[in-house]
């Protein structure tokens, strides 16, 4: 029997992973709002990707439908919204959470875990992290920019892990495994989340401060040195919290952020250039709050720039 899956959001990440699940025949429903819902009903969920293009007709549900007829019958709720939309999203999908429902967040940073566990209970919330480079274009197409597509999930500290629970997680992992994505059910999901966090935060800091791609920064005097210093700040914060960087990942990331000619940018920087909301607090602000004795002046400078951007954007 297939698990019933609910994908909260159908932007770049949720649309890509959820679209691949739908393409593979999984029982997945998308909880979406307004214009995006109309777009999906009219055009379908469209993906452009190095792994192959796709167009699927997604099953959709609105928050009003869930509230009118509380189901609670979904086995897994995958949360793919931006962090600044989490409070509203929790209100929307709460009726879909039953006694046996597990919630797998795909958000950036760590702060969202506290909010989800406070609302739905420690026993319903898993840890999760998704690594993908993708955007939603003006026509609503999901554009996957590289072949990278990885979802890690696993139990958080305090989650009961008896034989039945482990079997259920293995069943879910099997059902979430589809072509185009690498699925990893890991024992230490916090370590995986921290690995993504320092990578994401350092890439965002580089692009925000340079106001361009990593290739733009690498091509100017002091650019590579500054990029490496930014990475070290983020890595040191992770290590101070008990999660040292994986040596292979650190080496590869250092090479990527110093590559002249690279068009690589962060989603936070791309959102900024579009005049859209940014995840300054969950990606950089929360990281700085956990820095302790670690000095991180470059990350702090990027955070200040983002907060000024948010203030100016809010004043318009």
Please give the helix or strand (H or E) that residue 48 lies within, else none: strand 45-48
The H or E element spanning position 61 is strand 59-61
Contact (Cβ atoms closer than 8 angstroms) between residue 27 and residue 3: yes
Residues belonging to the chain: 316
Locate tokens 């990578």: which residue?
Answer: 199
pTM of the entire predicted model: 0.93
Q: Which pLDDT does position 143 carry in this prediction?
A: 94
Domains of the chain as residue ranges with CATH:
5-187 (3.40.50.720), 192-315 (1.10.1040.10)
- So what's the pLDDT on residue 68? 83
Q: What are phi and psi of 160, to 5 degrees?
A: -65, 130
Residues of the chain with pLDDT under 70: 70-72, 316
Per-residue pLDDT at 248:
97
Strands 142-154 and 127-136: antiparallel
Q: What is the pLDDT of residue 101?
A: 94
Give the model's pLDDT for residue 314: 86
* pLDDT the model gives residue 228: 99
pLDDT, residue 71, reads 65
The closest alpha carbon to 200, from 145, 162, 249, 140, belongs to 249
């Amino acid at each position: 029997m297939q698990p019933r899956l609910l994908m909260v959001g159908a932007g770049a990440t949720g649309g890509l992973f959820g679209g691949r699940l739908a393409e593979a025949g999984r029982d997945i429903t998308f909880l979406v709002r307004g214009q995006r819902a109309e777009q999906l009903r009219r055009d379908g969920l469209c993906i452009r990707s190095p792994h192959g293009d796709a167009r699927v007709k997604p099953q959709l549900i609105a928050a009003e439908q869930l509230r009118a007829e509380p189901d609670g019958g979904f086995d897994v709720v995958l949360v793919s919204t931006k962090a600044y939309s989490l409070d509203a999203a929790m209100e929307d999908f709460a009726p879909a959470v039953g006694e046996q429902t597990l919630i797998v967040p795909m958000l950036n940073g760590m702060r969202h875990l506290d909010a989800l566990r406070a609302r739905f209970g420690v026993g319903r919330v898993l840890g999760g992290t998704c690594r993908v480079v993708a955007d939603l274009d003006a026509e609503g197409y999901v554009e996957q920019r590289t072949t990278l597509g990885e979802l890690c999930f696993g139990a958080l500290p305090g989650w009961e892990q008896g034989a039945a629970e482990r079997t259920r997680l293995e069943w879910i992992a099997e059902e979430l495994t589809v072509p185009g994505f690498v699925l990893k059910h890991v024992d230490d999901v916090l370590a995986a989340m921290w690995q993504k966090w320092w990578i994401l935060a350092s890439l965002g800091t580089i692009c925000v401060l340079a106001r361009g791609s990593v290739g733009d920064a690498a091509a100017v005097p002091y650019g590579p040195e500054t990029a490496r210093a930014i990475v070290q700040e983020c890595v040191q914060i992770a290590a101070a919290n008990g999660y040292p960087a994986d040596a292979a990942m650190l080496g590869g990331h250092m090479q990527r952020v110093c590559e002249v000619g690279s068009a690589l940018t962060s989603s936070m920087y791309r959102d900024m250039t579009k005049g859209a909301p940014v995840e300054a607090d969950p990606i950089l602000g929360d990281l700085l709050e956990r820095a302790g004795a670690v000095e991180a002046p470059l990350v702090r400078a990027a955070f200040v720039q983002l907060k000024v951007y948010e203030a100016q954007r809010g004043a318009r």
